[in-house]
Amino acid sequence: MRRPGLRLLTVALALAGAALLTGCGEQKTDETATDDKGSGPRPHSTPHIPSPRGSSPAPGRDPERGQDQLPVPSLVGQTSTPDPKLPAPVVNMDIAHDSETKGRTVNLTIDDGPDPVWTPKILKILRDNDAKAVFCMVGPQAEAHPDLVQRVVAEGHRLCDHSVAHDTGMDHRSRDYQKDQILRAAAQIEKASGGVKPLYYRAPGGAFTPYSRQIAAAAGMRPVGWNVDSKDFELPGAEAILRTVKGKLANGPTVLFHDGGGDRSQTAAAMKKLLPWLSGKGYAFSFPVR
């Protein structure tokens, strides 16, 4: 006759073996998976597994910094799950679309400069309309025109990192490449500004990845997208740019313009009409949420 104690031991060993088998699966991740390309009202479209409320990933080893990785801080409102093997984000790593000011607002964002011809013209239009904007600067452009970077800061606008090479396919490049593009441009912009750091990161063409968003957020830069693409880079004419923006404002507050990358006379002409129109409709000028 089998003893009860032996039978219980046999059952316990069987259950333990089953648990080991079911726990050995590995969840695969796509290293080059992209987010929602920067546009639209959604914060991002990257699938994620949320952590329990108030919890943080367990400490581990950070191979990039060669030191023990502290638990990732719980950032208010963040829906992305940070990779605990990477530097922890110090600002929200979700792609921002909303305004930091509640109500009827517009966030003006201006890409690809600074440009010695068009940036001063855009700055004058902003000043004439008591409007503020985020200037998403390409690192070498900032390095070449530090006077304009410092003027942007002095006039109350905010800086944004827009990479070194403006590579719209960087979401398919290596992690080392993405990290270099983000951090080197941030350093170029900070140096050109006289020590003011960029507060945002916008991937060229919206080519974000979960990795690039966390690297930017760990450096204090909130990833920023857009709700309204003015299509000014297509040079459709000032009136067409104006119609596009007016027609898409219902999509959300963050509007994309350009002050670099070519002739921006149409952009300037459109903004000269748009900004007074926005004020007349009761819109206030704000900045993207951080």
Gap between the Cα atoms of 153 and 23, Å rounded: 53
Marked catalytic residue, from 111, 115, 161, 171: 111
Q: Which amino acid does the sequence have at 212?
A: S
Q: Which amino acid does the sequence have at 16?
A: A
Find, among 221, 223, 206, 122, the residue nearest to 171 by Cα. Answer: 206
| 157 carries an active-site annotation | no
> With contact defined as beta carbons under 8 Å apart, do 222 and 96 qualify?
yes
Gap between the Cα atoms of 204 and 217, Å rounded: 16
Marked catalytic residue, from 35, 115, 258, 259: 258
- For the chain, give the longest Cα–Cα distance: 96
| 259 carries an active-site annotation | no
* Residues facing 201 on adjacent strands: 161, 223
> With contact defined as beta carbons under 8 Å apart, do 97 and 226 qualify?
yes
> With contact defined as beta carbons under 8 Å apart, do 37 and 209 qualify?
no
> With contact defined as beta carbons under 8 Å apart, do 221 and 161 qualify?
yes
Gap between the Cα atoms of 151 and 290, Å rounded: 23
Find, among 213, 212, 267, 257, the residue nearest to 237 by Cα. Answer: 267
Task: List active site positions.
Answer: 111, 258
